[in-house]
Amino acid sequence: MMMRTPVTCLLETKDKLGEGCFWDAATQCLWWLDLIVPSAIHRLHPASGAYRRWQFDEHVTAMAKRRDGTILVGSHRGLNILDPETGALRSWVDIDPETPGNRGNDGACDAKGRFWFGTMMNNIGPHGEDVAITAPTGKLFRIDADGTATVMETGVGVSNGPCWSPDGKTFYFTDSMAQVIWAYDFDVDSGTIANRRVLNDTKDHGYPDGATVDAQGCVWSARWEGACVLRIDPKGRIDRVVPMPARRVTNVCFGGAKLDTLYVTTARAHLPEEELRKRPLQGGIFCFDPKVTGFEKHAFAG
């Protein structure tokens, strides 16, 4: 069902490739990033408008908060720790060094604080230009608190959208290149996945990108090239289509004091001038009222 939901642009950050959003309930701050070098991590306190930005010379791709106030940052080559007080980004764990043509992409923590981090064939050139993905060389890793990385899935085109059902028994994972959102049985105690099946593989709304789950168990899927966000029910049916003022919609997360706001990242890199004139806010950070509550993303256990 198409819904003309009012959408607000919080900041016109003109992100080349906005991604990695999460809400920190303790500080009531929204975090997100701009992936392409010179990359950036953004932090916004929506209630006051207080905003801070850190810049880096490596692609940063995904984030999760840590319990000590620092931030786990997935990057091109692996995992890092950001100290928000100093802005220092410290390398921690290399991921997938045996596949040097790959880079990191999306990630999120499960209820036990393990970080699920996907890789993909690198599609970004040394000057930020697009590079063709020629093979599904991506993998899905589970990173435990001690930094141990375990391969959980292979043969992935573009890793995206790790998230879990409210009861923790279903894991969702997106391969954007294949245009499919997968569902798996999830064992929270062992951190294992099984019984992969298709949740949704529609080709009518662009490519599925980042995702999150609401309190009713529906998946909210950002749609790259689809200019919208989809709400997909647990049976894989499209429940709502929320149009967005950006063609390349990249990630979503719940936030706000009552976790009743959906925040949305977007991208503007490599879009033609005509498209940028048509949708000048592309690359900004947006929000809307989804008429349902969600969850704060879990913190990393390490």
Reduced 3-state DSSP string for 221-267 = EEEECCCEEEEECCCCCEEEEEECCCCEEEEEEEECCCCCEEEEEEE
Find, among 158, 161, 139, 138, the residue nearest to 149 by Cα: 139
Listing DSSP states for 93-157 in one string gives EE--TT-TTEEEEEEEE-TTS-EEEEEEE--B-TTS-B----S--EEEEEE-TT--EEEEEEEES
- Known catalytic residue: 94? no
Report the number of secondary-structure helices (H) and strands (E) in the chain.
Answer: 1, 24
Q: What is the largest CA-CA distance in the chain?
A: 51
DSSP-derived 3-state class of residue 73: strand
Out of 24, 175, 209, 214, pick the active-site residue.
209
Separation of CA 43 from chain center = 15
User: Which residues are annotated as catalytic?
Assistant: 209
